[in-house]
Amino acid sequence: MASLVVAVVVIGAGGFAYLRSTGSPANAVGASSASASAAASAGLAVSATPRASATPEASASPSPTANPSPGSAPVSAIGFRPRATVVPMVFPLPAAARYRYGDGWLVPRVDRPYWYNEIRGVTSTGVLLRAHDGVDLQVALGTPVLASFDGTVVDPAHIWRPWLPSRYGNVVVIQSSEGTSLGYRSIAAHLSRLAVAVGDVVHRGQVVGWTGRSGNAAETIPHLHFELRAPFLIAVSYGGRTRRLDSFDPLPSLRACDPRLH
C-alpha cells in the first residue's frame, strides 16, 4: 500500500479550554483547516483541530463560498471542515415563523457522550464530557418543521446506538437522496408531533412534523434542535484521543438557506 498519512493533532491542554468556554459556538472551537491536505489518499478521515480561539473561517458569516466545493456538500472526510461546510438544503422552519438562533454546536452539555456525540473536553481523570451536536432554533411550540432535502425518513435507532429518545424526544431523521447532499442526514428533535413515518419518501420543504418539547427539552425555551450528519466519519482529536464521528456544525448550512438572510 502507498503511504497513508493521518493528520491527528493532539491538543493537550486545549481540551480544558473547552471546559472554560462559555458556550458561544463561534468562539468555543475553531475549524479544522490545516489538517485537510495532510490526509492523503485512500479515504482516511481528516482530523478536526479544536482550538480555544476562533479562526476567521469559524467566526465569519458562513456562506456557500465557504464550501471547498461550492454547490455540493463534500463526499468524503478529506478536506472536510466541520465548522465551514455548507450542505445545500431548505431551512427547516417556514419563512413566516419567528425564530432565533439559540445554543450552537459544541455548547457544553452536562452528561457523557456516546460514540456519536461531540465532546467538549476531558476531565483530569480522563472522563469525556458531551457537547451539543446541533443548533437550536428557538421558535413557538407547534411550528411546522420542513424537510431539509429530498430523501427518506430513517430510524435513528438503527444508525446511532444507543439512541436516546429520552434526550431527543420525537424526531424526524431524513437521509438525503439529492445529488448535492447524497447520504447526509438531518435530525429534527423535540417535536410534538410527526407528519411522517420511517420509510416515507419526503421532498424538500414538505412538513414533516411540528415543534415541541419532547425528550429533554421540557424545561428549555421552546426550540427545534437541528443536526446535520455526514455520510462518513470525521476524525477529531481531544486531549490526545481521536474519535471518529459524523457530527459537524449545521450553522453554516442553516445560514446559507435562512430566508431572513437572503
Interface with Zn ion (CB under 5 A):
136, 225
Please say whether the beta carbons of 109 and 131 come within 8 A. yes
Residue 134 CB, nearest distance to Zn ion (Å)? 5
Contacts of 130 (CB under 8 A, 6+ apart): 108, 109, 110, 111, 112, 113, 117, 118, 119, 120
Q: Which three cell numbers stand for residue 51?
A: 482550538
Residue 201 CB, nearest distance to Zn ion (Å)? 27
Q: What whole-number distance in Å separates Cα of residue 257 and Cα of residue 260?
A: 9
Residue 156 CB, nearest distance to Zn ion (Å)? 15
Residue closer to Zn ion (CB basis): 102 or 151: 102
Residue 27 CB, nearest distance to Zn ion (Å)? 18
Residue 71 CB, nearest distance to Zn ion (Å)? 28
Which of 243, 242, 190, 197 is CA-nearest to residue 219?
190
Residue closer to Zn ion (CB basis): 118 or 178: 118
Residue 10 CB, nearest distance to Zn ion (Å)? 29
Residue closer to Zn ion (CB basis): 7 or 106: 106
Residue closer to Zn ion (CB basis): 86 or 106: 106
Residue closer to Zn ion (CB basis): 51 or 225: 225
Question: What three-state secondary structure class fits 42?
Answer: coil
Residue closer to Zn ion (CB basis): 62 or 104: 104
Contacts of 45 (CB under 8 A, 6+ apart): 6, 39, 77, 78, 80, 232, 233, 234, 235, 244
Residue least distant from Zn ion (Cβ): 225
Question: What three-state secondary structure class fits 66?
Answer: helix
